[in-house]
Structure 1
Amino acid sequence: MSLTGLPADTDADIARVSEALTMITPRWNVRILLALSGPPLRHSEIVNRCAWLYKSQLHLKLRSLCDAGLLQRSALDARHVTYGHTGRAKALLPVLPLIVSWAEQYLEQPEGPQSAIEQIEDSLTLLTRRHAAAILWTLKVRGETSGRALATRAVPAQRWTNIYSPLRQLVADGLVDTDGKGQPYRLSSAGEGLAPVLAALSTWSAGQPFTQAARHPVWGPTLTADSHTSASQQVRTPAARTRPDPMVQTQPAQRTHGQNTDLFSHPAPVRPALALPTGGIRR
């Protein structure tokens, strides 16, 4: 069943990416995947690396990630059970630095610099807004488009006026621009800047080699030679920390760009003077 009014191959692409985002965006999923980078770990070792989760929560997350095909559970015997990345999870890791690079350029940080993992989580939340993928793909394919024409392509099965609620959200998030009520919509510079991220997610969700992202029929033509440079950077596991009291709201520690606390080894680029608000999704 088609989700959009776009060509069948584009519609299938949007469906795959939307499903992939739904798989990796839930809270803690990316952190757990990074904590398990490297050789398979026993449950007790994972507990130590994910001290910010209660054991019951961790168990549910591990089972969910196994069901999604991102982790593999191996039981040598009842007392020796390990969890490790599947090939699919390993293929996802090069996409994460691209998300950080986009966030560093376009997302504002009103309370000071964020860690790379927080930037990934905030960016993924933006991309999983309702109908976000369909709207972004449609605007990329068709260019500046009226709300009604956009609705016939992005959400053809719904009443066309239903497009305005998700559109307003994407405008507030800074991914879509318009000159005012009744005026057509277009991708913002931040929306256009998502090309490396969306091309990479599409490639990953289709099970293709990461190098194929530059050939993506919609997002690939706008990629530059250095769009994937940061993807070669090594991913580092986030350090385990003591679980905070659930009744106490804690603030993330601030850092400077010189500190060795990022998930990735590349230094953060200089942030532009104007950055996007993130639509109130700060955690």
Structure 2
Amino acid sequence: MSQTLATEFARADAQAVQTTLRRLAPKWTTAFVHTIAKYGPELRVRDFGQYFPTLSQTYTSKRLTTMSTAGLVTRDAQFDRTAPYRLTDRARTLGPVYRALAQWSSDHLDHTPQGRSGRIEDALHRLQLVDTTEVVRLLSARSSMRVSHLAEQVGDYEQLIATRLNRMQADGLVTRTGHRHGDPYTLTDAGRALGPVFTAVQQWENRHSSAPKVQVPTATSALGAPVTGANAARTAAALRRSAVPSTLFSHSPLPQPRVPAAVTAGSIPARSR
């Protein structure tokens, strides 16, 4: 991760990225997304058996339910308990995230030969643990830090951070600057190269969590030319004062009944001095 990204990558961003990574990390999630995308667009639970013969239908159903809760798959099961699953818009746009993870894994991790889905899930398994993203952010910004300082910045017990660092060291993300017990930790080449991965995850999450902006049309004159300046202000005010057209409602307003003249005359109070 570059120094610039580490500076701009706030703690709230790190927490959001961590949450997203944990949502994508459960085993078989990546493989199921790829399978539906390749052989779908819809697959029933029993259909997964021909692609994953070692998985039971019960386990497959549980995994798909978890993916549904994570917003990655959906189905119309109100009237059909065996309705097929299909990818959501969120899942169909995972390409940049998966490409960044696969590239990072291929370039920096020493692993046994495995398919693309396996490399992605292995990378997610290394990155999804609690506080991992925040530790990477802190070490990227400060080069090296001791366990006590990291615990203070993360806001967790020193023993828990030490355990997390041991796991991150085993996963190839951090290393000690010396051989003594209290020596500071620093990022490895793999840890420093996580910038594109975190950026891809953040952009994907922002794409689906940010509220869309409403485009306000420009006021136009009767001839279709844009209205500008003082005319625009007067036009906008006129639009606000104008009545709502009847076509905006599902039914046209009913005509008012005609009142006989005698009834109308009788309803007018008599004038008195």
| TM, length-normalised to structure 1 | 0.63
Task: Provide the rounded CA distance (Å) in 1 between the counterparts of 2:198 and 2:76.
Answer: 32
Gaps of 5+ in 1: 1-5, 210-283
Alignment-mate amino acid for residue 171 of structure 1: Q
Identify which of structures 1 and 2 has the higher relative contact order when contacts are C-alpha pairs closer than 8 Å and 6+ apart: 1
1:131 aligned partner: 131
2:165 aligned partner: 167
Task: Provide the rounded CA distance (Å) in 2 between the counterparts of 1:26 and 1:122.
Answer: 10
1:187 correspondence with 2:162? no
Task: Specify the SS of the correspondent of 2:10.
Answer: helix
Q: Deviations over 1:12-47 (max 9, x none)?
A: 222222221221111111111111115223444334
Task: Specify the SS of the correspondent of 1:99.
Answer: helix
Task: Provide the rounded CA distance (Å) in 2 between the counterparts of 1:162 and 1:27.
Answer: 24
**Residue 176 of structure 1: which of 174, 177, 181 is its match?**
174
Residues 1-283 of structure 1 correspond to what in structure 2 (within 5 A)?
A: 10-37=10-37, 38-75=40-77, 77-78=79-80, 81-109=83-111, 112-154=112-154, 156=155, 158-180=156-178, 181=180, 182-207=182-207
Task: Provide the rounded CA distance (Å) in 1 between the counterparts of 2:135 and 2:21.
Answer: 15
Q: Deviations over 1:136-161 (max 9, x none)?
A: 1211233322322222112x1x3334
Give the 3 Å change call, closer, same or farther, for CA 161–54 of structure 1 in structure 2: closer
User: What is the deviation of 1:49?
Assistant: 3.2
User: What is the deviation of 1:11?
Assistant: 2.5
Task: Provide the rounded CA distance (Å) in 2 between the counterparts of 1:90 and 1:161.
Answer: 40
Query: Cα RMSD between the aligned structures?
Result: 2.7
Alignment-mate amino acid for residue 171 of structure 2: D
Q: For the Cα contact (< 8 Å) 1:17–1:202, is it kept in 2? A: yes
Q: For the Cα contact (< 8 Å) 2:175–2:187, is it kept in 1? A: yes
| TM, length-normalised to structure 2 | 0.65
Q: For the Cα contact (< 8 Å) 2:172–2:190, is it kept in 1? A: yes
Task: State the number of aligned residues.
Answer: 200
Gaps of 5+ in 2: 1-5, 210-273
1:232 aligned partner: none
Q: For the Cα contact (< 8 Å) 2:175–2:186, is it kept in 1? A: yes
Task: Provide the rounded CA distance (Å) in 2 between the counterparts of 1:191 and 1:167.
Answer: 12
Task: Provide the rounded CA distance (Å) in 2 between the counterparts of 1:78 and 1:150.
Answer: 51
Q: For the Cα contact (< 8 Å) 1:39–1:84, is it kept in 2? A: yes
User: What is the deviation of 1:76?
Assistant: 8.3
Q: Deviations over 1:254-280 (max 9, x none)?
A: xxxxxxxxxxxxxxxxxxxxxxxxxxx
Structure with greater Cα Rg:
2
Q: Deviations over 1:115-137 (max 9, x none)?
A: 22221121111112342112112
User: What is the deviation of 1:91?
Assistant: 1.8
Q: For the Cα contact (< 8 Å) 1:25–1:125, is it kept in 2? A: yes
Task: Specify the SS of the correspondent of 2:83.
Answer: strand
Give the 3 Å change call, closer, same or farther, for CA 91–168 of structure 1 in structure 2: same
Greater fraction helix = 2
Q: Deviations over 1:71-125 (max 9, x none)?
A: 011248537722111111112232112211111122213xx52222221121111
Alignment-mate amino acid for residue 18 of structure 2: S
Alignment-mate amino acid for residue 153 of structure 2: R
User: What is the deviation of 1:55?
Assistant: 0.5
Alignment-mate amino acid for residue 62 of structure 2: L
Task: Provide the rounded CA distance (Å) in 2 between the counterparts of 1:43 and 1:162.
Answer: 39
Task: Specify the SS of the correspondent of 1:84.
Answer: strand
Give the 3 Å change call, closer, same or farther, for CA 10–80 of structure 1 in structure 2: same
